[in-house]
Amino acid sequence: MTARPKVFADPLRNRGTAFTLEERAKLGLTGRLPAAVETLDEQAARSYAQLEGYETDLEKYVFLDSLHDRNEVLYFKVLGDHLAELLPVVYDPTVGEAIKQWSKDYRHSRAVYLSIDRPEDVRASFETLGLGPDDVDLIVVSDAQEILGIGDWGVNGTDISIGKLAVYTAAAGIDPSRVIAVNLDVGTDNEMLLNSPTYLGNRHARVTGQRYDDLIATYLSTATDLFPHALLHFEDFGPSNARRILDEYRDKYRIFNDDMQGTGAIVMSSVISGLKITKQTFAEQRLLVYGAGTAGTGMADQISAAMIRSGASPEEAKARVWLVDINGLVTDDMDGLPNYQQAYARPAAEVADWKREGGKIDLLTTIQQVKPTILIGTSTDHNAFTEAVVEAMCAGVERPIILPLSNPTERIEAMPADIIPQSKGKALVATGIPVEPVEYDGVSYTIGQANNALLYPGLGLGTIVSGARHVTDGMLLAAAEAVASQVDPTPLGASLLPDVENLRASSATVALAVAKASAADGVATKTPDNLVQAVEDAMWQAVYPSAMGDGPADDAP
């Protein structure tokens, strides 16, 4: 058997049957491909037809993953041409299924693995990529402690970094040759994985404390030293680490926590749209967050900051937020509250005569007492938003904003198909997962996807184009407003958020707003004369470079 030509194994350069005869000769591929020289469109049509032959989304995920590893341009062409259909396959919710199977189904690797047991290898692990200081725009890292709403998946969580990067490219044209996916393998507390013969990660419990902190510090300093222009995206860390890392390092490095900041901002977009319907201000809102972890408290932070901007004092804003977590309404007499919950804990005296079940003040009671204008679910507590909960929300206010945001599908607090009829069409709903429109009383209600995927790609692009030194609150707000500006939510049944179908255009608009905010906040290091053009030019397209007049580089077979 002869050796496989090297270029076939490089997904960034491989074009398979699209190599012309000249390219085949130049690359030593003569006679190594069937005669047909296909266009990218022809290849994409065949790949899509093959994809349609698979039944389950997980099979489609595996097929697309293999395509990703053979030919990146073709993969992104197929993904881009069918974005709304395929986003749920390469990303949430199917990526959650793939992660559960990851070690068992292990095929190949495109990530960098940093092990807590070998911190001395961090630098070498990046250096093996052979990339220079100007070659990297973006790194997505996860320690996989809280993957989506499915918990701790150790090294299996690698695919969340890969999935997020695929969305960055498909949605905002981040150049796929300039990104790195990283898994921080600090062990896992998932017993099932530890006992599984196929598990590929470190076989010990999660390391915490100083050694963990040292690995994070080493990661940040090494990545920034080697790739000084890269945006460092943090994904699916556990709640206390997520917040600690962001608080400690956001003024020092170019970091972004998607679950806190990206999710907070997409929720801001949903609320901005909702307030166009209720004709209220942020300062008038009463916010109830059910599931006060990384995402939920990130949202509370952004919404209370918006209350302050719209005229509330910090004390008034705080007094308009209620958190309900696993032990019921969060009050200041509870022991061991994490600091991110303490910030919003209600005075115990204020709720002394509220009804308690098993010592807890539950979600329904809190709604009845508080009459929230906004109810957010980030609890992973499936079906927690019962009919009684929805009815109580509607009894309190005319048009409640109800956002069941837990992912994946098996975790969502309620499905819009239930909330819309239960609220008689009054509730303003968006979800984290993609869902079909709901028909009710002769109206079709389109449900916006309040998933950070609608926001972070454009935010990342704007950060890269402006060379922002940090991701500021001003940039997050600009992104949220830019997303909301793309829809008119006021007709009955209209979505609160733009359609995923238009994600690429939407991301460009977001990027532009973010780049402007970066300059206004004084963190931009690049200020192109024509920002619109700079954003357009920065967006990578799924075409073979020769089509843009640039042939493939020389390479021995």
Ligand X SMILES: NC(=O)c1ccc[n+]([C@@H]2O[C@H](COP(=O)([O-])OP(=O)(O)OC[C@H]3O[C@@H](n4cnc5c(N)ncnc54)[C@H](O)[C@@H]3O)[C@@H](O)[C@H]2O)c1
Ligand Y SMILES: O=C(O)C[C@H](O)C(=O)O
Binding-site positions read 235-236, 259, 407, 451
Residues 6 or more apart in contact with residue 34 via CB below 8 angstroms:
17
Binding site for ligand X (CB under 6 A): 146, 148-149, 239, 259, 263, 266, 290-296, 325-326, 378-381, 405-407, 411, 432, 450-452
Q: What are phi and psi of 401, to 5 degrees?
A: -90, 120
- Identify which of residues 378 and 507 has a Cβ nearer to ligand X in the complex: 378
Cβ at position 404, least distance to ligand X in Å = 9
**231-234 vs 138-142, strand pairing mode:** parallel
Q: For residue 66, list its beta bridge partners.
A: none
The answer to whether 116 and 207 have CB atoms below 8 angstroms apart is: yes
**Does 451 sit near ligand Y (CB under 6 A)?**
yes
**Does 51 sit near ligand Y (CB under 6 A)?**
no
CA distance 54 to 474: 44
**Does 156 sit near ligand Y (CB under 6 A)?**
no
The item of ligand Y, ligand X, Mg ion, none sharing an interface with residue 296, based on CB under 5 to 8 Å by kind, is ligand X
**112-115 vs 321-325, strand pairing mode:** unpaired
The item of ligand X, Mg ion, ligand Y, none sharing an interface with residue 380, based on CB under 5 to 8 Å by kind, is ligand X
**Does 266 sit near ligand Y (CB under 6 A)?**
no
Structure tokens at 63: 């097929």
Residues 6 or more apart in contact with residue 361 via CB below 8 angstroms:
324, 328, 329, 331, 351, 354, 355
Cβ at position 39, least distance to ligand X in Å = 37
CA distance 303 to 376: 11
**Does 362 sit near ligand Y (CB under 6 A)?**
no
- Pick the binder of ligand Y from 72, 137, 159, 258 (CB under 6 A): 258
Query: Quick one: how far is CA 498 from the chain centroid?
Result: 16
Q: What are phi and psi of 556, to 5 degrees?
A: -80, 150
- Identify which of residues 27 and 392 has a Cβ nearer to ligand X in the complex: 392
- Pick the binder of Mg ion from 92, 185, 236, 301 (CB under 5 A): 236
The residue from 75, 91, 249, 344 that is catalytic is 91
Residue 362, CA distances (Å) to 40, 288, 353, 356, 381 in order: 56, 12, 13, 7, 13
Dihedral sign from CA coordinates of 465, 468, 471, 472: negative
- Identify which of residues 154 and 400 has a Cβ nearer to Mg ion in the complex: 154
- Pick the binder of ligand Y from 92, 175, 185, 381 (CB under 6 A): 92
Stretch 249-278: interaction string toward Mg ion, x if CB under 5 A? ----------x-------------------
- Identify which of residues 146 and 159 has a Cβ nearer to ligand X in the complex: 146
Q: Is 164 a catalytic residue?
A: yes
The item of ligand X, Mg ion, ligand Y, none sharing an interface with residue 158, based on CB under 5 to 8 Å by kind, is none
Chain positions contacting ligand Y, by CB under 6 A:
92, 148, 236, 258-259, 407, 432, 451-452
